[in-house]
Amino acid sequence: MVQTDTSETRALRLDADDPLARFRREFLIPEGAGGQPAVYFCGNSLGLQPRNARRLIEEELDAWARLAVEGHFHAVRPWYSYHELFTESGARLVGARPGEVVMMNGLTANLHLMLASFYRPAGGRTKILMEGSAFPSDTYALQSRLKLLNLDPAQHLIVLHPRGGEENLRTDDILAAIEQHGRELALVMFSGVHYYTGEYFDLPRIIEAAHRAGAFAGFDLAHAAGNLPLELHGWNADFAVWCSYKYLNAGPGAVAGCFVHERHGKDPSIPRMAGWWGNDPSTRFRMHLNAEFVPQPGAAGWQLSNPPILALAPLLASLEIFDQAGMAALRAKSLQLTGYLESLLDQSPPGRVRSLTPRDPERRGCQLSLCFERGGRELHQALTQAGCICDYREPGVIRVAPVPLYNSFHDVWRFHRVIEQHV
Ligand SMILES: *Cc1c(COP(=O)(O)O)cnc(C)c1O
């Protein structure tokens, strides 16, 4: 065991040296025990409120009050083109080109839209490969899509589990499964970071293997967007979806993201579930005179409805912060912050706490999923009482996400102090 300096002084020094420390002040942190700010380690579930969110929502409420329908064109940020405010920042977030990303709907709705376009079973190519113990909504979406097509999920959905006694999937095993099922695969669909174990999958290699097998590769980036630098365009992903209320801090039920690779975005022949907001804007308002759907190029061509402006406003506040901080700098701090947490936990007596998350920092984002030998639930209660907010999942797993935008090294130190007293 490597000896670690567990002193509070060290934590405070790390904060003093942190070039991103100022971003903590851009967020509203709930109060914890004794009036101190809580140690908020639940950003993987619901990110904190950016200070600017309220102002941006109020500006739209004012525009609505003053301008009513005229707000579509005459608000400071005209509602008609409001979604275009995310063209650049949304693309930067996931390593896409402008036009490849649109913010719309919820994650699961976007997943269904993407499945309609990119899961098109034909001939012997009918199967979908996904990771095991996935977030239930993803499993439900895939199963229900299969049933809509009269295909039996038991036969057409291949679910990969880690080897016996292991917590994480090995990349080689994923690649081997893709190769093994090669000619039967229509789609390889994975999460970016596994919501439960925190494993970050090797997206570029999965994409490459899927394409070599002749299948599409799509991703649910709910736990990856805003957590890790992504290169969706360069990696050649076919599609991706994510929500904006976890690491993206855009508020409960926030408007989600959707990526469609340029090579598909410029192909109007791709079948899709269409709506008027996906139509070419130059003919959109010809209304019933324009009975034939003409998709606009890019991910925007998958939009259905005119966007919910009040719900999009906090996302604008959030992405401005991401642009200021930059994903590369956030990742650098994240590696340090989660590494610091891990090094403190390593000081615990052997066997008392074990992490389900890969130890290799390249194979994870900021989250560690901690499994306690006994008393996980009691420990979670003690943490809550001490003002540490993190989540508990049966059987005995506490997921903690030190978020580089607003968590400090001192937060990690305070969290560990509670752990120390209980394990
Ligand atoms: C959070 C999460 C969801 C939630 O779906 P919504 O449609 O946003 O409610 C889905 N999938 C994964 C992997 C998640 O982590």
Verify whether ligand 1 is closer than 6 Å to residue 137 (CB atom): yes
Verify whether ligand 1 is closer than 6 Å to residue 416 (CB atom): no
Round to whole Å and give the CA distance between 192 and 260.
16
For ligand 1, the distance from its centroid to the CA atom of residue 146, given in whole angstroms, is: 19
Whole-number percent of the chain with pLDDT over 90: 90
Task: For a ligand 1 pocket test, name from 111, 135, 190, 369 the mutation site with the most ligand atoms within 8 angstroms of its C-beta.
Answer: 135
pTM flag (> 0.85): yes
pLDDT at residue 2 in the model? 64
Q: What average pLDDT does range 395-401 have in this prediction?
A: 92
For ligand 1, the distance from its centroid to the CA atom of residue 319, given in whole angstroms, is: 19
Q: What average pLDDT does range 207-229 have in this prediction?
A: 98
- pLDDT bin (cut points 50, 70, 90) of residue 1 is low
Verify whether ligand 1 is closer than 6 Å to residue 259 (CB atom): no
- pLDDT bin (cut points 50, 70, 90) of residue 348 is confident
Residue 403 has pLDDT above 70, yes or no: yes
Verify whether ligand 1 is closer than 6 Å to residue 139 (CB atom): no
Higher pLDDT, 66 or 282: 66
User: Which ligand 1 atom is the nearest neighbour of the CA of 245?
Assistant: 8
For ligand 1, the distance from its centroid to the CA atom of residue 250, given in whole angstroms, is: 14
Q: What average pLDDT does range 65-79 have in this prediction?
A: 97
For ligand 1, the distance from its centroid to the CA atom of residue 180, given in whole angstroms, is: 29
For ligand 1, the distance from its centroid to the CA atom of residue 135, given in whole angstroms, is: 7
- How many residues comprise the chain? 423
Q: What average pLDDT does range 329-336 have in this prediction?
A: 98
pLDDT at residue 37 in the model? 95
Lowest mean pLDDT, pick from 49-53, 201-205, 320-324, 345-349: 345-349
The number of C-alpha atoms within 13 Å of 330 and in the hemisphere containing its C-beta is 27
User: Which ligand 1 atom is the nearest neighbour of the CA of 243?
Assistant: 8
Q: What average pLDDT does range 315-323 have in this prediction?
A: 97
Whole-number percent of the chain with pLDDT over 70: 100
- pLDDT bin (cut points 50, 70, 90) of residue 422 is confident
Verify whether ligand 1 is closer than 6 Å to residue 111 (CB atom): no
Task: For a ligand 1 pocket test, name from 46, 112, 138 the mutation site with the most ligand atoms within 8 angstroms of its C-beta.
Answer: 138
SS (H, E, C) 80-129: HHHHHHHHHHHHHHHCCCCCCEEECCCHHHHHHHHHHHHCCCECCECEEE
User: Which ligand 1 atom is the nearest neighbour of the CA of 109?
Assistant: 7
Verify whether ligand 1 is closer than 6 Å to residue 221 (CB atom): no
pLDDT in tens, 274-295: 999 999 988 877 777 778 899 9
Verify whether ligand 1 is closer than 6 Å to residue 399 (CB atom): no
Verify whether ligand 1 is closer than 6 Å to residue 195 (CB atom): yes
Residue nearest ligand 1's atom 1 by CA: 222
pLDDT in tens, 7-61: 999 999 999 999 999 999 999 999 987 889 999 999 999 999 999 999 999 999 9
Q: What average pLDDT does range 351-356 have in this prediction?
A: 90
